[in-house]
Amino acid sequence: MTDHADALARVAEAEDTLRAIAAGEVDAFVVSDDARGSRIFTLSTADRPYRMFVENMRDGAATLSASGLILFANRRLSELLSCPREAIVGSPLTAFLADDSQRDLAHIRGPGGQGATAELELLGADGVRVPVQVGSSPLSVDGAELLCLTFTDLSAHKAKDREISRLGRAQGERMAQLQAAQEALTAQATHDALTGLPNRELLVERIDEAMERCRRSRKFMALLFIDLDRFKQVNDNHGHAAGDVALRSVADKLVAVLRPMDTVARIGGDEFVVLAPEIENQLHAVDLGSRLLAELGRRVGGGTRDEERVAASIGISVSAGGRGTAETLLKEADTAMYEAKSLGGRRVAVFDAALGLQVRQRSAARLVLQSALDDERIVAHYQPIIDLASGAVAGFEALARIQADDGSITPPSAFIPAAEESGLVVPLGAQVLRIALEAAARWPTTGVTGPLNLAVNLSSRQFESGDLPTLIADELARCSVSAGCLHLELTETAVMDLHVDLLDQLHRIAALGVQIGLDDFGTGYASLTHLRRLPLTFVKIDQSFIQGLGVDHEDERIVAAVVDLAANLGLRSIAEGVETTDQLRRLRELGCDQAQGYLFDHPLAPGDVPEAIERRATPPPRRPPPARPPAARAPAAPPGR
């Protein structure tokens, strides 16, 4: 490419050209795009007004050669670039484009070089970026293809856009702040400050909405009015700060137990209300109340050994098809709650007449149970547990009964629910344990191969005092019964929450040598986590699955799976509720270890146990069960498992 100096030298060769330049008639366009070399274009006097027009344009203007050199630049372009024109003319346009605008050079020429409009940034000599809109159009001069450019300064326009954008953002932030403030005020007006739960105002609104849905669906809804029992002791013993911690813990427990569609509200002090819309029936509400009682029975407070156990009284009001109003239901539930408190607390009472009758019956059962405990009329009957390999008695399960003065026996179904609700299951469990151990110490051993096991049921409430391991150790020592003979059975529901205190007590009990198992396995909430963390030695397969053996393929698969799982974990499997020889045969084929049920014996009075032991001490020979590949049985889990 011939540089600018060469072009001026060529101009100097022609006198006419020098005169034209002096007169301002020559633009000194330097063109070297082709083999014809540099050429100089001149303007006639008639063209000078157009040049002056271009010179005085408000927009920058330039002419670009085919190779991208700037051949002409007006005064405004010089101002935009903060650069003299002699430094602009002869330089490539790319020298004045910001780096991120280089890619837009092709867009300036347009498709096929026919011109276009684009936005880019010029880079001035002072380093300042200038946003411009560039318009281009092609120009052919004596066979040379040139490109005419105009540069419109967008600085003011961009600044205005930025200001509008800033104002928009500021307005958006302000609106967000106002909305947040409004939401905070609404939340403050409709939610409890301590727990974050809905307050009475929001609760009433949701009750009205739920009742309207019930009117359309004809379903049931329930209100459960919850008042904490003896909560004043928490504040008195540990201070109001600890009381606040306990209230927040209660709120968390209630929310955790309930469905997402349910509402938990705190309406004042230690009073909470649960709205359970769209339930199936009234018993569903009672079951929910019982679950809430069980959950609240766990420790809450500051996390110390001295933390209080907060129990509750729960009153239930049920609406069928949207019956009543929010205030009516709240009043009914409140009345039922006070009925629960009058019966000693830690219980559920129902305002509904039919369920109210059940509550009164359980209240009567509680009185009967309390009287039986006071008068030591609790007795134990014993159901044999049979070893399926030998057919001999392996042990007995102790089952609580109440014996009336006339000798009649009250079955557990009549008083166990009342015992659980009232907390009387704790002294009941202690009495049954003592009675059963005393009986086991007197069982005959003649003709019996190995010690007989004694199975006793435990309630989760027996762990609440924290001294259950000590009680068991003392009773074993007093009755001179080997710890290995005592088998304690817990339901899956009792160990649903693997609380650290519960696990600690279970491991302490296992450390004594006592064996621990899960009762009614498969019907509750146990998982592999429970089987791994609990110090178990056996599982009892619920009788509902046993009844399906030979009839229901699903039940049979479940029994087979549980037996195999127990074997692989080194646990003993015990089948409950065996009633037919077909069930017994199938259990032996599946490799189940032990079984109990009416096929062998009903629960026996204490005096009938020795005869049952002797009758099965040397069972008649029978054909051995089909061979089964031995499962890898691990040793009994240590206390630290």
Write out pLDDT tens, residues 255-289: 988 989 999 999 988 899 999 998 888 788 888 99
Residue 39 and residue 133 in one domain: yes
pLDDT digits (tens, 9 = 90+) for 316-333: 999 887 788 889 899 889
Look-up of token digits 């127990």: 566
The pLDDT of 126-141, averaged and rounded, is 88
Residue 96 and residue 217 in one domain: no
How many Å apart are CA 148 and CA 625, to the nearest integer? 104
- Considering the domain boundaries, does residue 497 fall inside one? no
Bridge partners for 311 per DSSP = 229
Query: Is the confidence at residue 45, as pLDDT, over 70?
Result: no
Look-up of token digits 């592999």: 528
Give me the domain span that covers residue 265: 200-351
Q: Which residue has the higher pLDDT, 477 or 551?
A: 477
Query: Is the confidence at residue 529, as pLDDT, over 80?
Result: no
How many Å apart are CA 488 and CA 472, to the nearest integer? 10
How many Å apart are CA 119 and CA 102, to the nearest integer? 12
Query: Is the confidence at residue 439, as pLDDT, over 70?
Result: yes
Cβ burial of 174 (10 Å; 0-12, 13-18, 19+) is exposed
Residue 148 and residue 249 in one domain: no
Query: Is the confidence at residue 353, as pLDDT, over 70?
Result: no
Query: Is the confidence at residue 243, as pLDDT, over 90?
Result: no
The pLDDT of 494-508, averaged and rounded, is 82
- Considering the domain boundaries, does residue 250 fall inside one? yes
Residue 316 and residue 248 in one domain: yes
In this prediction, residue 357 carries a pLDDT of 65
pLDDT digits (tens, 9 = 90+) for 172-205: 888 888 888 777 776 677 888 899 899 999 999 9
- Considering the domain boundaries, does residue 69 fall inside one? yes
In this prediction, residue 587 carries a pLDDT of 95
What backbone torsions phi and psi does residue 336 show, to the nearest 5 degrees?
-65, -35
Segment among 12-21, 134-143, 494-503 with least mean pLDDT: 12-21
User: Per the structure block, which two tokens stand in for 395?
Assistant: 């042990």
Q: Quick one: DSSP state of residue 605? A: P
How many Å apart are CA 327 and CA 65, to the nearest integer? 89
- Which of 351, 368, 397 is a domain's end point? 351
User: Per the structure block, which two tokens stand in for 550?
Assistant: 């030979």
Residue 146 and residue 214 in one domain: no
- The CATH number of whichever domain residue 77 belongs to comes to 3.30.450.20
Residue 141 and residue 263 in one domain: no
In this prediction, residue 37 carries a pLDDT of 52
Per the confidence metrics, is the pTM higher than 0.85? no
Q: Please list, in sequence order, all residues whose beta carbon lies within 8 angstroms of the beta carbon of residue 278, skipping any fewer than 6 positions away.
A: 210, 213, 214, 217, 219, 220, 221, 261
How many Å apart are CA 86 and CA 92, to the nearest integer? 13
Cβ burial of 489 (10 Å; 0-12, 13-18, 19+) is buried
User: Per the structure block, which two tokens stand in for 636?
Assistant: 């009994």
- Considering the domain boundaries, does residue 542 fall inside one? no
Query: Is the confidence at residue 16, as pLDDT, over 50?
Result: no
- Considering the domain boundaries, does residue 637 fall inside one? no
In this prediction, residue 621 carries a pLDDT of 46
User: Per the structure block, which two tokens stand in for 455?
Assistant: 């199975």
Residue 233 and residue 145 in one domain: no
Query: Is the confidence at residue 29, as pLDDT, over 60?
Result: no
Query: Is the confidence at residue 633, as pLDDT, over 70?
Result: no
Give me the number of domains the chain comprises: 2
Segment among 32-46, 62-76, 554-568, 624-638 with least mean pLDDT: 624-638
pLDDT digits (tens, 9 = 90+) for 539-595: 999 999 999 998 888 999 999 999 999 999 999 999 999 999 999 999 999 999 999
Look-up of token digits 């201070």: 239
Which residue, among 384, 382, 380, 381, has the nearest Cα to 596 in the 3D structure? 384
The pLDDT of 115-121, averaged and rounded, is 85
How many Å apart are CA 280 and CA 207, to the nearest integer? 17
The pLDDT of 357-362, averaged and rounded, is 67
Q: Confidence class of residue 358 from pLDDT cuts 50, 70 and 90?
A: low
* Alpha helix stretches (DSSP H) within 523-641: 528-533, 543-546, 553-568, 581-590, 609-615
How many Å apart are CA 329 and CA 277, to the nearest integer? 13
Which residue, among 515, 516, 493, has the nearest Cα to 298 in the 3D structure? 493
DSSP string, 495-509: GSS--HHHHHHHHHH
* Residue 421 identity (one-letter amino acid): E
Q: Which residue has the higher pLDDT, 230 or 420?
A: 420
Q: What is the mean pLDDT of the chain?
A: 81
In this prediction, residue 86 carries a pLDDT of 85
Query: Is the confidence at residue 639, as pLDDT, over 70?
Result: no
How many Å apart are CA 335 and CA 315, to the nearest integer? 7
Query: Is the confidence at residue 74, as pLDDT, over 60?
Result: yes
- Which of 153, 177, 212 is a domain's end point? 153
Bridge partners for 64 per DSSP = 70, 147
- Considering the domain boundaries, does residue 370 fall inside one? no
Q: Please list, in sequence order, all residues whose beta carbon lies within 8 angstroms of the beta carbon of residue 109, skipping any fewer than 6 positions away.
A: 115, 116, 136, 147
Taking residue 252's Cβ as centre, other Cβ atoms within 10 Å add up to: 15
Secondary structure element (H or E) that encloses residue 353, with its range: helix 353-374
Which residue, among 466, 513, 459, 544, has the nearest Cα to 299 in the 3D structure? 466
In this prediction, residue 44 carries a pLDDT of 52
Q: How many residues belong to the chain?
A: 641
In this prediction, residue 141 carries a pLDDT of 75
Query: Is the confidence at residue 308, as pLDDT, over 80?
Result: no
- Which of 121, 136, 153 is a domain's end point? 153
- Considering the domain boundaries, does residue 204 fall inside one? yes
pLDDT digits (tens, 9 = 90+) for 332-344: 898 888 878 867 7
Task: Decide: 571 and 536 in contact? Cβ < 8 Å.
Answer: yes
In this prediction, residue 636 carries a pLDDT of 34
Query: Is the confidence at residue 520, as pLDDT, over 90?
Result: no
- The CATH number of whichever domain residue 331 belongs to comes to 3.30.70.270
Largest CA distance in the chain: 148
Residue 141 and residue 210 in one domain: no
Look-up of token digits 């209300």: 273
- Considering the domain boundaries, does residue 55 fall inside one? yes
Task: Decide: 89 and 114 in contact? Cβ < 8 Å.
Answer: no
Residue 227 and residue 146 in one domain: no
In this prediction, residue 190 carries a pLDDT of 85
Residue 11 and residue 142 in one domain: yes
Segment among 23-37, 94-108, 141-155, 188-202 with least mean pLDDT: 23-37
Residue 131 and residue 241 in one domain: no
Query: Is the confidence at residue 307, as pLDDT, over 90?
Result: no
The pLDDT of 238-246, averaged and rounded, is 83
The listed range with the strongest mean pLDDT (120-124, 299-303, 432-436) is: 432-436
Residue 34 and residue 149 in one domain: yes
Task: Decide: 345 and 339 in contact? Cβ < 8 Å.
Answer: no
